[in-house]
Structure 1
Amino acid sequence: MTSVSVQQGANSALRTTRLSLPVEGMTCASCVGRVERALKAVPGVQTATVNLATERADITFGDRADPQAAVGAIESAGYAVREETTELGIEDMTCASCVGRVEKALRQIPGVIEANVNLATERARVRHSAGLVTTAMLEAAVEQAGYKARRLSAATASSDDQDSERRENEARGLRRSLLIAALLTLPVFVLEMGSHLIPAMHHWVLGVLGEQRNAYLQFVLTTLVLFGPGLRFFRKGVPALLRGAPDMNSLVSVGTAAAYGYSVVATFIPQVLPQGTANIYFEAAAVIVTLILLGRTLEARAKGRTSQAIKRLVGLQAKTAHVERNGETLEIPLDQVTTGDVVFVRPGEKIPVDGQVVEGASYVDESMITGEPVPVSKGVGAEVVGGTINKTGAFSFRVTKVGANTVLAQIIRLVEEAQGSKLPIQALVDKVTLWFVPAVMAAAALTFLIWLIFGPTPALTFALVNAVAVLIIACPCAMGLATPTSIMVGTGRAAELGVLFRKGEALQALRDVSVIALDKTGTLTKGRPELTDLVPAEGFDYDEVLALVAAVETRSEHPIAEAIVAAAKQRDIKIAAIEAFDATPGFGVSAKVSGRTVSVGADRFMTQLGLDVASFLPAAQRLGEQGKSPLYAAIDGRLAAVIAVADPIKETTPEAIKALHALGLKVAMITGDNAATASAIARQLGIDEVAAEVLPDGKVAALKQFRSHGARVAFVGDGINDAPALAEADVGLAIGTGTDVAIEAADVVLMSGDLRGVANAIALSQATIRNIKQNLFWAFAYNAVLIPVAAGMLYPINGTLLSPIFAAAAMALSSVFVLGNALRLKRFQAPMGIESRPVGPENVKV
């Protein structure tokens, strides 16, 4: 929080600025001292007090207040000021130039680290130092740049409702303005152009109205168009022009004002114009406004369709919940449900929030989360997710997560963040669009001068018409929408396919990968190993060895340990208590069981213990060739048995591997299994490369090895041990059924836990980037080709000139083309045919 206090003395004014910054990384009193000394050394700092308990630094500045210098001093001392992200809704942006100006205004605020503005979503995401930047400062900067800003609510649904209502009002206003403009423009167009095209009509107009009254009527109607429906362009364009930051509205304002102003002079004081140049262009001004309003209306409609994925997700949220309060069941609004409440769910109802079943049983449709159409059985103790659909039975559950913490809210947030992100491919666009409008205005001025000096008679008329055409035909809007609209539709379609892009950059990076590295357990396999073999050494009994080994494995959380314990329980073997348990990651575990020392692990663990596994090598090799994972058990210093577990391959894995190969990708597997087992699984699945016997901390090294030949690598995993590898890979994809740690480290989350989602994600990434390139080519080619044509480049060759009316039509349709092309991604067909299917309202009882 920043506060400023001003104290007046008798002869002078003393101004002080107080600043409170959250400091991270302090652990002791020495840290406090270092931060205080660093702050007191900053010029202008009067006092600096650091509190270890609250982790805050309170600073008082004198006349020379430099908060950014204080942040720099803290960072130089080895600590950090906590960062925050603020989201703003931005209004009145019309083109890519607006985006650049808002970003520039936000980035100039001291303490702002990064600011990204999205034209399609009309949102800004600002990353800044906490305590140094306030929402009011951000809003003021945006308003000073000529736009409106408002902080978005933390509740995704409410902010979406606000945006939807605002956009609907905007679309309604555009439709109304378009209708009025069209009704007023049609007579002007008919009177002017009809007279040119139909000789009989020309004589009729002259006979009934006369040339002067015809001009007066066009003047009245055009004035109503420009200062009625067209006033929106002047209200935004003229102030932007006066600020020295012209935008698309400025181009329209100057172009229509030039045509209108010239026509007014030609109508009322024609004597001031050179002989033969007193022509009127009222129809050009009126038609330009009407056509651009048509383009804006179509654009608003298309924009609404680009955000349908978010609307569908928000629509999954229940509005109310049946909560047990004081012995009775009450229906209350969702925002009044709190953690710990017990909620009752009837058949056919939406589950309102996340929780754990405490009574009853049912089947739940979780297709909106997993993409799997088969309802999942839920009994006491099972987790349920808000937004999913209860199918048959009735049950009660205790609420564990509400509001922004629910799974559905997190999914919505991830999709919104991905839709609002900027891809590296957009960097060039941002640089060009910042200077595009001033360059167009300069080109129009140059066009006017060239035609005025070198053009044929009447030179002034030619100069005016061509300059107006240049102003009107330029379309920065198409360039601004080219990338964000494709991202919006692409990430929305991805969510329908059960693919969540946590980072928008991954949408582009995934397109460039050439190697897919897959963790074996839980990714290729079901992650539920089963004990298949136990071969005891001479002198050891099967059940005796299994009892001792199972006792040790009760302390381990590894899936293989669970399989061994489950096998012992199936045989009704009593499992004894243990002591002195010790685990060596990547090797094995050991403990004391009923006075006996038991060790279980890989062959390298036995070697580490000084035991020779040679006698079991033939059996281990045979098991490995069958795709099973051999382990060894040692009891009291003697090799007691070789044990084999098998983790069944997921039914969809072979199909997914084929799909990845069909996309031209090399598939690699990373596993801790021995080489024989890993090779057997690789042969079975058609995997190209294998990294076997990899320790948990060795996955990063394996990825670096795959990348050593210049390949870009994507890693797919699901466990805690996978988090470093997910972060190291060029793109990390986490199986959504895995741990939160893994998902946090990933760039992409596959909600279904189905490996086929990887092929879908890559195919969609390729389709989206291809779509973006098509849009960018159109946007740049359109302007590069048509601006010179509008300037009259073809006139010396074949006498062709572009009417401002046709220029307006082309400009209006250019952004509509970009939006229409982006919307094609909604029809993207997933190569593997799995997708989330949110249940429609017709199937849900609310």
Structure 2
Amino acid sequence: MLKKIELPVTGMSCAACAVSVESTLAHTEGVKSAEVNYANQSAIIELAEASADLEVIKKAVQSIGYDLLIEKPQAEELEKQQEEAYKRIRKNTIASGILALPVFIIGMFWMHMPYGNYIMWALTSPVLLVFGRDFFTNAVKQAKNGKANMDTLVALSTGIAYIYSTFNTFFPEWLASRGMEPHVYFETAAVIIFFILLGRMLETGAKAGTNEALKKLMGLQPAHVILFQNGTETTVPVGEVKRGEIVVVKPGQKIPLDGNVIKGSSYVNESMLTGEPIPVGKKPGDKVFAGTINQQGNFQFETTKTSNETLLSEIIERIKIAQGSKAPIQKTVDKVTSYFVPTVLIVAVVTFIIWSISGYEDASLRGMLSMITVLVIACPCALGLATPTAIMVGIGKAASMGILIKDAESLELGRKTDTLILDKTGTITEGKPKVGMVHWRDAQINEHMLIPVVEALEGKSEHPLASAIQNHFAHDGVRPEINDFKSETGKGVSGIAHGKLYRIGTLKWLQSSGVSLDHKLIQKGEEHLENGSIVVYVSEDTSLIGVISITDKIKAGSKAAVEKITQMGIEVHMLTGDQEKTAATVARSVGISHYESGMMPEDKANYIKALQQKGKTVAMAGDGINDSEALVLADLGIAMGKGTDIAMDAAKATLMHSNLQDIPLLLQLSKKTVVTIRQNLFWAFIYNIIGIPIAAGILYPAFGFLLNPMIAGAAMALSSVSVVSNSLRLKFSN
């Protein structure tokens, strides 16, 4: 059985690093597939078998200069590691900046001061060999495995400048005797290292902001719980609590784990899950969920899940996996990046050769500087950050609005949606049907015998309408035994009681089963249908004996949501298994002109296929098991958070608040995210397309302009920061 895990990766410094790690993982024994995300420094690995040796996979990653944390740290520990890494890069940046500044001043303005070259050499050496040593050690590790990345570019460019300048400092006569000025470029090497470190420091700080929504969710679960053991209360870390233990919750506290109330009562604010601001009453037997807030009253509950299994932890894990997934456009970028660094190395060498044979004064020196500039300015970081940072912010923004998005592809698909299909019950309506009226055929019907039969039959069904009927007919008497029970999706239920065959379901189904019609009952049913009620019929053997009308209120925001979606240029359809008149009334009430009634699950699926064959990009919103096939077939499946687990598993996005007004928010966010990705990619590509030829010296013959490597280093650093900053704008979008 395949197993998918997400593990942190350390040591990655650019998009090419992520491509390198991904390639290594994909070719490692025991790994079926791998996706490495540079933006959140993690790898999603699909193991070929659950028993795959993670140590072997870890060593494979270590062999190319990175590390895989197979003993996945807790969120707090990982955050601490990231904070320490940020402090380390900040310290190196500040130290290199302090040393690079005098080197820059001497090199640019006082280059002929006594012992100037020696002073610059003394200050530059620690910048490269201490504060920037990671560039060189990582480049060597990459070279050993026949690979290259951003560190390779930095190490080559600064290393060449440093070695050349050091040689000219201690052996100036070698060039001087050949009629050449022994220039030094310590300021170039020192300032480039400083700017790249500065860019990474700003980038690390900015990337931390992309996960704020996730941190807020993680913060909902308290770190400690109060256990009730042997008559006393003990405070322990939440991670140590097992299933079946008794937890005490006091007023104002967050509920630490999922469980069932066993003692006491209170009201709990569950708005983080449901979006409903009104606290929900809790009494023995009721479920409570981690992250929700106890309003008043003490109670005890028995844990049903550990800290890693709660609904809250599942939501967090889904968001993390979604943020780590790749949009289709990112896979193209990764492919480009994998060829990018080797191409840049070739361009740099060619630049040097062309300059060397150009015949210009000091051609070799100019060629060396141009080669260094090409290596510096060609950093693919901005390219690698363009898509994943926007995806991370977009998915995090959605989570903060109560919308869980399963993967990056789903977020990208929302933009293309031109047709939205809505289920009726539980999606447009509240999904809390109640029995309105009951009509029996005549006075001879024995209601006292019939009511227990109806309740018993519906008690075996899982349909939302079944529970409404069961609740309405609830009685204290003994239920009859039901034999040969059958449930036919979208049609009804049947079973034998007291030696007679009873059916409860649609009129069409009863009629096709050979039940004779009673015109008075049918007329009553028609009257309720005209009022928008759902009508089910009851038969005994082959006779129609009763009509039950059921009302399901339309959600308050459904009409406004449909109007907004229509204004966005999206065609809205409603598909339901209910009767035509009920469907027509509901569709008319919310402003939907395209609707179909009496739809079986396979009918919904075929309807979606037909639309897709016409070239439509279809989104489907539903909440029930009967919607699961349609949700899978739709280009974008959207499940209601209050629906079934099967529907949520099948869908690509889940509306935790079960509010249709979240659908236009999701579609708008999708468009904004894709626009942001395109903006990021445009600037990243333009930066490299324009920057590399200028760095190579293409403007020199016509304008005498040669780009300074230091300026190239600053521009490269700022390009990465600008891409991340542009992505962060999504957080503040409406």
Q: Do structure 1's residue 322 and structure 2's residue 322 form an aligned pair?
A: no
Out of 28, 31, 35, the residue aligned to residue 109 of structure 1 is: 28
Question: CA 1:755–1:152 in structure 2 vs 1: closer, same or farther (change >3 Å)?
Answer: farther
Question: CA 1:282–1:374 in structure 2 vs 1: closer, same or farther (change >3 Å)?
Answer: same
SS of residue paired to 2:357? helix
**Residue correspondence of structure 1 range 695-714 to structure 2 within 5 A:** 695-714=600-619
Partner AA of 1:130 in structure 2: E
Question: CA 1:103–1:780 in structure 2 vs 1: closer, same or farther (change >3 Å)?
Answer: same
Distance between the aligned counterparts of 2:487 and 2:321, measured in 1? 40
For residue 783 of structure 1, report the CA deviation from its aligned partner: 0.5
What is the total number of aligned residue pairs between the two structures? 729
**Residue correspondence of structure 1 range 540-689 to structure 2 within 5 A:** 549-550=454-455, 552-569=457-474, 577-580=480-483, 582-585=485-488, 586-592=490-496, 597-610=501-514, 611-612=516-517, 616-635=521-540, 637-689=542-594
**Residue correspondence of structure 1 range 250-649 to structure 2 within 5 A:** 250-273=152-175, 274-537=178-441, 549-550=454-455, 552-569=457-474, 577-580=480-483, 582-585=485-488, 586-592=490-496, 597-610=501-514, 611-612=516-517, 616-635=521-540, 637-649=542-554
Q: What's 1:185 paired with?
A: 100
SS of residue paired to 2:131? coil
Partner AA of 1:354 in structure 2: D
**Residue correspondence of structure 1 range 756-767 to structure 2 within 5 A:** 756-767=661-672
Out of 165, 168, 172, the residue aligned to residue 80 of structure 2 is: 165
Which moved further from structure 2: 546-555 or 352-361?
546-555
Question: CA 1:256–1:801 in structure 2 vs 1: closer, same or farther (change >3 Å)?
Answer: same
**Residue correspondence of structure 1 range 4-83 to structure 2 within 5 A:** 82-83=1-2
Distance between the aligned counterparts of 1:820 and 1:229, measured in 2? 26
Deviations 1:189-231 (A, max 9, x none): 1122234xxxxxxxxx85xx43xx1222222222232222122
Question: CA 1:678–1:573 in structure 2 vs 1: closer, same or farther (change >3 Å)?
Answer: farther
Distance between the aligned counterparts of 2:17 and 2:234, measured in 1? 49
Distance between the aligned counterparts of 2:679 and 2:367, measured in 1? 34
Deviations 1:668-689 (A, max 9, x none): 1111112222122111111242
For residue 591 of structure 1, report the CA deviation from its aligned partner: 4.0
Deviations 1:759-817 (A, max 9, x none): 22222222222211211111111111111111111222322221111101001111111
The two structures, once aligned, show a CA RMSD in angstroms of 2.3
Out of 246, 251, 257, the residue aligned to residue 148 of structure 2 is: 246
The alignment's TM-score, normalised by the length of structure 2, stands at 0.94
Deviations 1:495-534 (A, max 9, x none): 1111112233212222222222121111111112122233
Out of 123, 130, 139, the residue aligned to residue 237 of structure 1 is: 139
The alignment's TM-score, normalised by the length of structure 1, stands at 0.82
Query: How much identity, in percent, do the aligned residues show?
Result: 39
SS of residue paired to 1:329? strand
Distance between the aligned counterparts of 2:197 and 2:458, measured in 1? 72
| Contact 1:493–1:828 (Cα < 8 Å) also in 2 | no
Q: What's 2:57 paired with?
A: 138
Distance between the aligned counterparts of 2:223 and 2:272, measured in 1? 17
For residue 321 of structure 1, report the CA deviation from its aligned partner: 1.3
SS of residue paired to 1:352? coil
Partner AA of 1:240 in structure 2: Q
Q: What's 1:149 paired with?
A: 68
| Contact 2:30–2:53 (Cα < 8 Å) also in 1 | no
Question: CA 1:573–1:147 in structure 2 vs 1: closer, same or farther (change >3 Å)?
Answer: closer
Which moved further from structure 2: 705-714 or 425-434?
705-714
Question: CA 1:680–1:423 in structure 2 vs 1: closer, same or farther (change >3 Å)?
Answer: same
Q: Do structure 1's residue 85 and structure 2's residue 21 form an aligned pair?
A: no
Distance between the aligned counterparts of 1:761 and 1:692, measured in 2? 27
Partner AA of 1:477 in structure 2: C
Distance between the aligned counterparts of 1:752 and 1:478, measured in 2? 36
Partner AA of 2:87 in structure 1: R
For residue 298 of structure 1, report the CA deviation from its aligned partner: 0.5
Partner AA of 1:583 in structure 2: K
Partner AA of 1:299 in structure 2: E
Distance between the aligned counterparts of 2:121 and 2:328, measured in 1? 49
Question: CA 1:296–1:592 in structure 2 vs 1: closer, same or farther (change >3 Å)?
Answer: closer
SS of residue paired to 1:246? coil
Out of 708, 718, 734, the residue aligned to residue 803 of structure 1 is: 708
Question: CA 1:137–1:644 in structure 2 vs 1: closer, same or farther (change >3 Å)?
Answer: same
For residue 131 of structure 1, report the CA deviation from its aligned partner: 6.3
Q: What's 1:746 paired with?
A: 651
Which moved further from structure 2: 289-298 or 184-193?
184-193
Distance between the aligned counterparts of 2:289 and 2:61, measured in 1? 39
For residue 741 of structure 1, report the CA deviation from its aligned partner: 2.1
Gaps of 5+ in 1: 1-81, 196-204, 830-846
Distance between the aligned counterparts of 2:478 and 2:558, measured in 1? 36
Deviations 1:28-84 (A, max 9, x none): xxxxxxxxxxxxxxxxxxxxxxxxxxxxxxxxxxxxxxxxxxxxxxxxxxxxxx222
Deviations 1:156-211 (A, max 9, x none): xx43223212211111111111121111111121122234xxxxxxxxx85xx43x
Q: Do structure 1's residue 771 and structure 2's residue 676 form an aligned pair?
A: yes
Gaps of 5+ in 2: none
Distance between the aligned counterparts of 2:526 and 2:610, measured in 1? 27
Partner AA of 2:21 in structure 1: V
SS of residue paired to 1:484? helix
| Contact 1:576–1:593 (Cα < 8 Å) also in 2 | no
Distance between the aligned counterparts of 1:332 and 1:293, measured in 2? 42
Deviations 1:346-388 (A, max 9, x none): 0011111101111222111222222333322222221100121
| Contact 2:323–2:407 (Cα < 8 Å) also in 1 | no
Distance between the aligned counterparts of 2:209 and 2:404, measured in 1? 19
Distance between the aligned counterparts of 2:700 and 2:526, measured in 1? 83
Question: CA 1:228–1:358 in structure 2 vs 1: closer, same or farther (change >3 Å)?
Answer: same
Question: CA 1:519–1:266 in structure 2 vs 1: closer, same or farther (change >3 Å)?
Answer: same
| Contact 1:534–1:542 (Cα < 8 Å) also in 2 | no
Which moved further from structure 2: 479-488 or 276-285?
276-285
Q: What's 1:47 paired with?
A: none
| Contact 1:550–1:568 (Cα < 8 Å) also in 2 | yes
Distance between the aligned counterparts of 2:141 and 2:538, measured in 1? 81
Partner AA of 1:254 in structure 2: L
| Contact 2:623–2:644 (Cα < 8 Å) also in 1 | yes
For residue 539 of structure 1, report the CA deviation from its aligned partner: 5.4
Distance between the aligned counterparts of 1:462 and 1:552, measured in 2? 89
For residue 750 of structure 1, report the CA deviation from its aligned partner: 1.7
Distance between the aligned counterparts of 2:96 and 2:555, measured in 1? 62
